[in-house]
Amino acid sequence: MTRLPDHVLARFPITARWPPTRPDVIQLYSYPTPNGIKVSTALEELGLAYEPHLVKLVPEDTHSPAFLSLNPNNKIPAILDPDGPDGEPIGLFESGAILIYLAEKAGRLLGDTKAERLHAIQWTMFQMGGVGPMFGQLGFFVRFAGRDIEDPRPRERYVAEAKRLLGVLEGVLKDGREWIVGPYTIADIALCPWLDALRFYGAEDLVGWSAFPHVAAWKARFEARPAAQRARTIPQP
């Protein structure tokens, strides 16, 4: 790839706080949470050149004017690609949108047919709209500040919803398929890091993890992939 002039990225205020050393490659602003690991895994799987920048989960970073200039929603991950559509630089936030963008850019991880592409996007949206938000709320009420709330109903609600979502995945995977769509796609990359969040939250027993053996085997297949293993510490926390 031809090296682009530094001023191409200098248009974006975020590069003043997290200066690129390789301004001709994708800049990743992230932290290795499930959403961050999703994008790191995709970049590793696709072999796209990129430079990771650690954005700590503290207001000094995520609410800084520099970071908000790229993601006004103050959440990781976000990317800046100097070689975006039509050769113009582009910044993106929302991990699901980033996964689709990276897969389309590389021409991989979106299935082999039009139907598989649509199903890969479908299951990625299932993670974005269901698994991520519901598991995240479960974690809040099990491990973080919400655990001190005496009313049991919030935790019970998210435990039940986590079980329901795991049941959806178990029902799809029990037919013997290796990956959620058929071939390995961004849908697997979107979903599997959130399965590991249940362990981090200490919630596996609460949701009855042992009742979902096909989900557990799928998670193990994902975690055995070298790219997924590397992504767990990208950026290095």
Question: Where residue 178 sits, what CATH number does that domain have?
Answer: 1.20.1050.10
Q: Indicate the SS3 state at residue 155.
A: helix
What pLDDT does residue 85 have?
A: 95
Query: How many distinct structural domains can be found in the chain?
Result: 2
Q: What is the pLDDT of residue 126?
A: 98
Last residue of a domain, one of 74, 108, 142: 108
Q: Are residues 93 and 133 in the same domain?
A: no
Same domain, 163 and 85: no
| Residue 32, domain extent | 6-108
The answer to whether position 28 is within a domain reads: yes
Per-residue pLDDT at 116? 98
Domain's final residue, options 93, 108, 123: 108
Say if residue 102 is in the same domain as residue 27: yes
- pLDDT higher than threshold 90 for residue 33: yes
Q: Is the pLDDT of residue 3 over 60?
A: no
Asked whether residue 1 is domain-assigned, the answer is: no
Least confident of 7-21, 83-97, 191-205: 7-21
pLDDT of 4 strictly over 90: no
Q: What is the CATH number of the domain that holds 81?
A: 3.40.30.10
The DSSP bridge pattern shows strands 78-81 and 90-93 to be: antiparallel
Out of 108, 143, 168, pick the residue that ends a domain: 108
With a cut of 50, say whether residue 1 has pLDDT above it: no
Structure tokens at 125: 């949206």
The model's pLDDT over 102-113, given as tens digits with 9 standing for 90+, comes to 999 999 999 999
Residue 61, pLDDT above cutoff 80: yes
Report yes or no on 236 lying in a domain. no
pLDDT digits (tens, 9 = 90+) for 149-191: 889 999 999 999 999 999 999 999 999 999 999 999 999 999 9
Structure tokens at 128: 């974005």
Tokens 């709209």: give the residue: 129
Task: Please determine, for residue 234, whether its predicted confidence score (pLDDT) is greater than 60.
Answer: yes
Flag whether pLDDT at 226 surpasses 80.
yes
Nearest to 57 by CA among 151, 167, 136: 136
Asked if 128 and 212 sit in the same domain, the reply is yes
Percent of the chain's residues with pLDDT above 90: 92
Q: What is the pTM (predicted TM-score) of this model?
A: 0.94
